[in-house]
Amino acid sequence: MTGKKSIALRKDGPSAKMMEICSVHVGSTLFGVPITHILEIVGNTHPHAVPLAPVFVGGLLHYRGEVLTTVSMRQLLGLPATEGRQDIMVLENKGSCFGLLVDSVGEVLTISAADREPNPSILDTRRQEIFAGACKLPQGLLIMLDPERLDPMRLGAAA
C-alpha cells in the first residue's frame, strides 16, 4: 500500500493520461495489471489445491484470515502447469478479493493511454474475454489485464 503511494509521489506533472501498471510474467508473455486493484503481492508461494474445482482455479490462498480463491493464469491460457513456486497477486474487484497466480511479478511501469490498443480481432474468443487490450512498450507488447474480467465469479459463470 505504501509502495503505491510513494510511486504516485515520484511521478511529475498531472497524469490524467498516464497510468501505473504492475508487470507480470506468465510463460514467455508479459502482462500488466493496474496497480489500483492490487492489494498485496504474496511471493514465492504454493496455493492449496482444490480437487474437483473448475480448471481455471489455481487453488486456495490464506490471506489475512480469509481464504481466497485464486485464478491460475497458466490454466486460463492453456499453458502446462509449472513445477515449483509462483507469485500470487491479491486483487480487489468490487469489494471482493481473489488471487491471481502468475509465474513471477515484475516491476511497476508507467504507461500512457496513447500507447494502449484494444484487443486485436484475430484473438480467439476465450482470450478476447480475459484480455483488456495491449500496450506498446519499447521492449515489446504488454497485454493488459482487467481484474473485473478475471474475477472467479465471472469466469465460473462463463465456464
Partner 1 sequence: MDDLTREFLIESQEGLDRMERCLTDLEERPGDTNLLSDIFRSVHTIKGTTGFLGFKRLEKLAHAGENLLGALRDGKLSASQPVITGLLQLLDALRSILSIIESSGLEGETDEEVNDSELIALMHELQHPGDALHSATNVNRPALVIEANTTLTHTSAKASPPALQEPDTAPPPPSQSAAAAENDALKSEAAETSRPRQSAASESTLRVDITLLNRMMNLVGELVLTRNQILQATGADPAFTMLSRRLDMVTADLRESVMKARMQPVSSVFSKFPRIVRDLTQLLNRRVKLVLEGQETELDKSLLEAIKDPLTHAVRNSLDHGIEPPEKRIALGKDPEGTLKLRAYQESGHVIIEVSDDGGGISVEKVRDKAIERSLITAERAAHLSERELLQLIFLPGFSTAAAITNVSGRGVGMDVVRTNVEKIGGKVEIDSRPGKGTTLRLRIPLTLAIIPALIVRCLGQSFALPQGVLSELVHIPPERISSAIEWMEGAPLYRLRGQLLPLIFLDRMLSERKPVNGHAAIATHTPDAASLPQRDHFIAVLDADGRMYGLVVDGLADPEEIVVKPLSTVLKSIGIYSGATVLGNGDLALILDPGAIAIRAGVSLSTVQEDIEILEEEEDAMKSRFLLVEAAQRRAAVPLGEVLRIERIPVSRIEYIGYRPVLNFEGQLLPVEDSAGVLATAAANPDLPLTIVVCREGNRQVGIAVGNVLDVAAGNDLVEAGTHRAAAGVTLLNDHVTGIVDLGAIEPLPLAAQAASSWQSSANSYEETLA
Applying CB under 8 A, which residues contact partner 1? 48-54, 57, 60, 62, 64-69, 96, 98, 152-153, 155-156
Give 33's strand partners: 22
Least distance from C-beta 39 to partner 1, angstroms? 15
- Rounded Cα distance, 145 and 105, in Å: 14
Closest alpha carbon to 1 in 24, 35, 31: 35
Please give the single-letter amino acid code of residue 31.
Answer: F
Least distance from C-beta 143 to partner 1, angstroms? 23
Closer residue to partner 1, CB minimum distance, 11 or 46: 46
Closer residue to partner 1, CB minimum distance, 88 or 143: 88
Closer residue to partner 1, CB minimum distance, 49 or 141: 49
**Which set of grid coordinates corresponds to residue 130?**
480475459
Least distance from C-beta 30 to partner 1, angstroms? 27
Least distance from C-beta 126 to partner 1, angstroms? 17
CB 72 within 8 A of CB 56: yes
CB atoms within 10 A of CB 1: 7
- Rounded Cα distance, 145 and 131, in Å: 5
Least distance from C-beta 90 to partner 1, angstroms? 13
Q: Is 109 helix (H, G, I), strand (E, B) or coil?
A: strand
- Name the CA radius of gyration of the chain, rounded: 16
Closer residue to partner 1, CB minimum distance, 57 or 73: 57
Closer residue to partner 1, CB minimum distance, 53 or 123: 53
